[in-house]
């Protein structure tokens, strides 16, 4: 029993360390995605000029901002395994970042990449219209690339979880260890009860042993 407990503790220790590492990596990638989203928004609103008299330009700015949030939310939904679900669609519509015809226009299974392509194409049209220069376009495209990379890195953590057989083995070891401990304590308490003629319940060792 002692050797089994040592083995169980050794394996469970490795499981805990692995789980903490996976959790930490996922949190770091999530934080990085948040930072890249803010960076892209700052770049869009800094490089694309503001002209309240130019209604088309102001509309394009608002669409790019909405698509940025849409791409971000799609990345989160994909990491949760809900990107192509109706619940995911309802969530995006509730946030008012998805228009009715956009869902069908996205590539199923890779919707967020479709959104990044939309942003690059619209930025290219703004550059061709003279609103931004080539350097601005390159800066926006680079930010979009970073956004996609960080989104894919977050999704990749889905495939970095502990293998199910390993999880089941750890769960089985915990259950076996609990069973052994329960039987051992039960036998010990039974001996104490017999030796004390039932008075063990008023002795401290019953509760702190």
Average confidence (pLDDT) over 117-127: 94
Contact 143, 40 (CB under 8 A): yes
| Reported confidence tier of residue 71, pLDDT bands at 50, 70, 90 | very high
Q: What is the pTM of this model?
A: 0.74
Mean pLDDT of the chain: 87
Q: How far is CA 30 from the centre of its chain?
A: 6
The residue-averaged pLDDT of 123-137 equals: 93
* CA-closest candidate to residue 167, choices 19, 10, 5: 19
pLDDT of residue 26: 86
pLDDT tens-digit readout, 153-202: 888 777 777 788 888 888 888 888 888 888 888 888 788 778 777 777 77
Are 151 and 114 contacting, i.e. CB atoms less than 8 angstroms apart? Answer: no
């Amino acid at each position: 029993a002692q050797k089994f407990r040592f083995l169980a503790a050794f394996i469970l220790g490795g499981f805990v360390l692995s789980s903490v590492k996976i959790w930490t990596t996922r949190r770091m990638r999530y934080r990085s995605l948040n930072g890249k989203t803010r960076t892209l928004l700052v770049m869009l609103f800094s490089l694309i000029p503001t002209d309240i008299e130019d209604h088309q330009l102001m509309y394009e700015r608002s669409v790019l901002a909405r698509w940025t949030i849409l791409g971000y939310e799609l990345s989160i939904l994909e990491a949760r395994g809900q990107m192509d679900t109706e619940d995911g669609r309802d969530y995006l519509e509730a946030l008012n970042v998805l228009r009715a015809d956009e869902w069908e226009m996205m590539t199923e299974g890779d919707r967020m990449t479709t959104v990044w392509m939309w942003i690059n194409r619209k930025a290219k049209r703004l550059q061709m219209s003279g609103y931004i220069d080539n350097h601005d376009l390159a800066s926006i495209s680079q930010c979009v690339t970073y956004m996609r990379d960080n989104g894919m890195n977050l999704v990749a953590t889905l495939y970095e979880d502990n293998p199910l057989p390993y999880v089941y083995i750890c769960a089985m070891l915990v259950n076996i260890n609990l069973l052994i401990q329960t039987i051992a304590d039960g036998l010990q308490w039974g001996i104490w009860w017999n030796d004390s003629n039932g008075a063990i319940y008023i002795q401290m060792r019953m509760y702190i042993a």
